Structure 1
Amino acid sequence: MPTTVRRTAAAVAALTLLAACSPAESGDRTKLTIATFGEFGYAPLIAEYEKLHPDITVQNRVTDFDTHHKGLATQLATGRGAADVVAIEEQYIPQYRKAKDKFTDLASFGARDLEKQWAPWKWAQGTDGDFVLGLGTDMGSLALCYRRDLFQAAGLPTDRDEVAKLIPDWPAYAAAADRFTQKTPGVKFADSAGTVYTAMLNQSPENYFSQRDDSFIADTNPSVRTAFELSGGIAAKGQTAAATTFTQAWNVAIKQGSFATVACPAWMLSQIKEAGGDANKGKWDVTTVPGKSGNQGGSFLTVPKQGTHQKEAYELARWLTAPEQQKKLFLAEGILPSEPSVYEDPQVIAHTDPYFGDAPTGRIFAASADRLRPNYRGLHDADVRPEFGRALGRIEDKTQTVDQAWAQAVQQARALLK
């Protein structure tokens, strides 16, 4: 999920208006549309592409995450209104692979010749056998963002290497939360239980569904239960700010310094900067995430079959995901590519971020990316996952215990699958 997701009424209205229009010729120029959720940082790249291809004009349709994916489902069902190029977030990819008849097989345009461009797990996510559904954009390899000043106030180490030694795994993270709370009871250790839970869960090869047959295994998979109990335990102790990413409450908590740590994918750094403003520059730092790796977010560019300019759409998607463009996006926006040739590039590795105390963000995120392993989601991950997030919210607002919240989440997830 690249950079900041901006939820504006104007953008939603624009989607409604544009969805009713099919791609058209503008004079002698071919008009292409690309639909993304949030800002992917494509504006300067699109301008560059139009200069390189004077016969093509490109319009970027930007909406919020939920509107985008719900709108796409409707557009595919009705057979009209989809953009020529459509971004799909990783959690939705499994279900759209099952609807591949609605999409152009990018292998027909030579996409398989590009396979080595991506990390193997990323390429595999966007394919279904020989069928190539989408080309990978970014990924969200994880780090740990923390407030140096709040760690110092709690008597914890502040140097990023020392913090990594203090918190090598999630049990150590929970222990650090206890130490932090003893010294600074007025500040929370984590932004939300959901962020901790998601980071832990995404380090497991399987989550709610079995990779073997896609059966529901959340209640028998020890990785899910362990992640829920540890994150829920932190919440039950009142050590989270109950501030969920992409909400105004989270932005305010960042600005006010209400919590000390957040498991942060590369794209989140721009959100922290925007919410924290100049007053918080230099207070944050970045180190290795507990567990050393994990991924949160990342997308693919697909070409719906209903479009009338499928080859031109593929060429646009191929260009936007090429290593040269992905490098530009990282250096300008901090959007981490899913291509080893880019995140291992010396200029990327050497990249530091002055807002985060000149933390070597290029090196940290590249190291995390190198350790990534496939994380099976399942066809109904997007349906089930929110139930466990809401359960953690009930622990944070003290309406349920960890055991009660867990039992209800499992029950509701099973009911949804029926």
Structure 2
Amino acid sequence: MRPIVRRTAAAAAALVLLAACGPGDAGGGTKLTIATFGEFGYAPLLAEYHKLHPEITVQNRVTDFDTHHKGLATQLATGRGAADVVAIEEQYIPRYRKAKDKFADLAAYGARDLEHQWAPWKWAQGTDGAFVLGLGTDMGSLALCYRRDLFQAAGLPADRDEVAKLMPDWDAYAATAERFTSRTPEVKFADSAGTVYTAMLNQSPENYFSAADDSFIGDRNPSVRNAFFLSGGIAAKGQTAAATTFTQAWNVAIKQGTFATVACPAWMLSQIKEAGGDANRGKWDVTTVPGKSGNQGGSFLAVPKQSEHPKEAYELARWLTAPEQQKKLFLSDGILPSEPSVYTDPQVVAHTDPYFGDAPIGRIFAASADRLRPNYRGLRDADVRPEFGRALGRIEDRTEGVDQAWADAVRQAQAVLK
């Protein structure tokens, strides 16, 4: 999942429409729409695309995450209203692979010739073996963002390499949370239990559903249970700020320095900068996440079958996801490429971020990306996952203990599936 950053959705859509249209476009040529959630950084790219293809006019519809995906479901069900190119976040990909009759098979336009561009696990997410549903955009390989000044105040190592050694895994992370809280009780160690839980889950090959037959295993998968009890245990000890990502409370907590760590995919750095402002420049740093890897977020561009211009839509999606464009998006917006030739590019690897103390974010995120392995999500992941998140929230607000919250999460997940 990626938040809207830097400008509002309405403003972004207007900017892209103006950038993509040239003089005299209103009367002729091919008109395409592309629908994204949050800010994908496409405005300058679409302006460039129009210069290369003056006969093509592109409008970018930008809405928030939930509005976008709910709207897409309705558009596909009714057979009208979908954009020519649509972004689909990774958690919805398994569901739409099962509804492939609603989409153009991109293999028919030559997509299979591009397979080598992507990390194997990323390509595999967008296809069922023969049918190609979508072309990969970014990915969200994980790092750990932390406050150097707060670590120093707690008497902990603050150098990014030393912090990585301090917390090589999540048990060590929990132990460090104990040390940190005992020395600086007025500051929380993590933003929320949900962020820790999600990062741990994303390092597991299976979560709530079996990769073999898609059966529900969330009640007995040790990876799910371990992640829930470790993150819930941190919350029960009052070591989280109960600030959920993408909320105003989280933005305020960033600005005020309420918590010291957050597991951060590459796209989150822009959100931290925006929330923290100039006053927090240089206070944050980036290091290796406990467990060394994991992925949170990332999307695909697909072409609904109802498009009147499927070939032109495919060509647009192909161009936007090409290595040259993925590199531009990382260097300008920090959107991490899902293509090895890009995230191992010397210019990308050498990229640093002055806001985060000149942290070598290119090297850190590239190393995390190289360690990524497939993470099976299941067709009903988007239905089940929120129940466990809500249960962790009840631990944070002290309405349930960890054991009861776990039992209720499992029960409610099973009820949702019936």
Range class of TM-score, shorter chain: over 0.9
- Superposed counterparts of 1:61-210, under 5 Å: 61-210=61-210
Identify the residue that residue 408 of structure 1 maps to in structure 2: 408
The structure-2 alpha-carbon separation of the partners of 1:413 and 1:2, relative to structure 1 and needing over 3 Å to count, comes to: closer
What's the TM-score, normalizing by structure 1?
A: 0.96
Partner of 2:185, secondary structure, is: coil
Give the match for residue 309 of structure 1.
Answer: 309
Q: Deviation at 1:272?
A: 0.2
Cα distance, 1:3 vs. partner?
5.7
Counterpart code for 1:198: T
SS at match of 1:128: coil
Q: Secondary structure at the match of 1:144?
A: strand
Contact 2:5–2:270 (8 Å) recurs in 1: no
Rounded to whole Å, the distance in 1 between the matches of 2:254 and 2:378 is: 33
- 3-state secondary structure, aligned to 1:376: coil
Q: Which amino acid aligns with 1:344?
A: T
Kindly indicate whether the alpha-carbon contact (under 8 Å) linking 1:293 and 1:368 is maintained by their aligned counterparts in 2. Answer: yes
Which residue pairs with 1:344 in the alignment?
344
Q: Does 1:271 align with 2:271?
A: yes
Structure 1 residue 2, shift from structure 2 partner: 4.3
Q: Provide the rounded CA distance (Å) in 1 between the counterparts of 2:61 and 2:358.
A: 34
Residue 360 of structure 2 is aligned to residue 393 of structure 1: no
> Is contact 1:5-1:37 (8 Å) kept?
no
Partner amino acid, structure 2, of 1:187? V
Displacement, 1:7?
A: 9.8
Matching residue's letter, 1:382:
A
**1:350-396 deviations in Å (ceiling 9; x for gaps):** 00000000000000000000000000000000000000000000000
Aligned counterparts of 2:215 and 2:180: Cα–Cα separation in 1: 40
Q: Deviations over 1:289-341 (max 9, x none)?
A: 00000000000000000010000000000000000000000000000000000
Match of 1:254 in 2: 254
**Residue-pair matches, total:** 408
Q: Is the 8 A contact 2:3 2:246 kept in 1?
A: no
Tell me how far apart the structure 1 counterparts of residues 11 and 88 of structure 2 sit (CA, whole Å). 18
Change (3 A) 1:12 1:277: closer
TM-aligned CA deviation for residue 128 of structure 1: 1.0
Q: Is contact 2:102–2:304 with CA below 8 Å preserved after alignment?
A: yes
Aligned equivalent of 1:228: 228
> Do 2:12 and 2:39's aligned partners in 1 also have CA atoms closer than 8 Å?
no
How far does residue 173 in structure 1 lie from its aligned partner after superposition? 0.2
**Corresponding residue number in structure 2 for 1:242:** 242
Distance in 2 between residues matched to 1:154 and 1:371, nearest whole Å: 31
Q: 1:9 to 1:145 in 2, by over 3 A?
A: closer
Distance 2:65 2:244 in 1: 15
- Measured in 1, the distance between the counterparts of 2:149 and 2:328 equals 32
Q: Distance in 2 between matches of 1:158 and 1:2?
A: 28
For 2:370, the equivalent position in structure 1 comes to 370
Amino acid at match of 1:182: S
**1:100-156 deviation digits (Å, cap 9, x = unpaired):** 000000000000000000000000000012000000000000000000000000000
* Unaligned 5+ runs, structure 2: 15-24
Q: Contact (CA 8 Å) 1:2, 1:335: kept in 2 or not? A: no
Pair 335,7 (structure 1): closer, same or farther in 2 beyond 3 Å: closer
- C-alpha separation between the residues in 2 aligned to 1:143 and 1:4? 20
Counterparts of 2:306 and 2:84 in 1: how far apart (Å)? 8
Partner-residue secondary structure (3-state), 1:373: coil
CA deviations on 1:32-91 (whole Å, 9 max, x unpaired) are 000000000000000000000000010000000000000000000000000000000000
**For residue 413 of structure 1, what is the amino acid of its counterpart?**
A
Closer/same/farther in 2, CA of residues 74 and 144 from structure 1, 3 Å limit: same
Letter in 2 for 1:324: E
Q: Secondary structure at the match of 1:132?
A: coil
Q: Which residue of 2 aligns with 1:321?
A: 321
Deviation of residue 28 (structure 1)? Answer: 2.1
Q: Which runs of 5+ in 1 are unaligned?
A: 15-24
Aligned counterparts of 1:403 and 1:172: Cα–Cα separation in 2: 22
Q: For the Cα contact (< 8 Å) 1:6–1:64, is it kept in 2?
A: no
* CA–CA separation in structure 1 for the residues paired with 2:341 and 2:9: 39
Partner AA of 1:337 in structure 2: P
Q: Letter of the aligned partner of 1:376 in structure 2?
A: Y
Superposed displacement of residue 12, structure 1: 12
- The verdict on how the C-alpha distance between 1:7 and 1:274 changes in structure 2, with shifts beyond 3 A counting, is closer
Shift of 1:235: 0.2
* Contact 2:9–2:39 (CA under 8 A) maintained in structure 1: no
Q: CA RMSD in A?
A: 1.5
- Which residue number corresponds to residue 379 of structure 1? 379
The 8 Å contact of residues 4 and 270 in structure 1, kept in 2 or not, is answered as no
The 1:184/1:407 distance shift into structure 2, 3 A limit, reads: same
- Deviation of residue 26 (structure 1)? 3.7
2:303–2:314 Cα contact (<8 Å) kept:
yes
2:19 corresponds to which residue?
none
Deviation (angstroms), 1:9: 8.5
Q: Secondary structure at the match of 2:87?
A: strand
Identical positions, percent? 88
SS of alignment partner, residue 206 of structure 1: coil
2:49 maps to amino acid: Y
